[in-house]
Amino acid sequence: MKSSAGSTVGSGVVLRAQLLRVGSEVFAVYGDEKTGFAVDPSDFYPTVPAGCRYFSLDELYFALVNLNAQPEGRA
């Protein structure tokens, strides 16, 4: 996994972005242990509940593995 510069969410919060490879795909992952993890930086807007984020990087990784293990259109 590679770390990159932060990404700013509309509220001015700077998120740490990381690259996560699952199979042949690479996903930008935002967040940290304190705020949670997500592949969509808009999940960190103040109006989005924290329950919409993954608690750990492992949890997000396995969710992405499960999505990529299914045939196209079946996940």
- Walk across the sheet containing 25-32 and list its strands: 2-8, 14-22, 25-32, 36-38
In a domain, 74, yes or no: no
CB 50 within 8 A of CB 36: yes
Question: Containing domain of residue 15, as a range?
Answer: 2-69
In a domain, 65, yes or no: yes
Give the list of residues 6+ apart from residue 45 with CB closer than 8 angstroms, or none: 9, 10, 11
**Residues 22, 48: Cα–Cα separation, whole Å:** 26
- The 10s digit of each residue's pLDDT in 50-72 is 888 999 999 999 999 988 887 77
**Does the predicted TM-score (pTM) go above 0.85?**
no
Q: What is the mean pLDDT of residues 22-31?
A: 91
In a domain, 51, yes or no: yes
Q: How many domains are there within the chain? A: 1
- The 10s digit of each residue's pLDDT in 27-58 is 999 999 888 999 999 998 888 888 889 999 99
In a domain, 75, yes or no: no
| pLDDT for the residue numbered 8 | 54
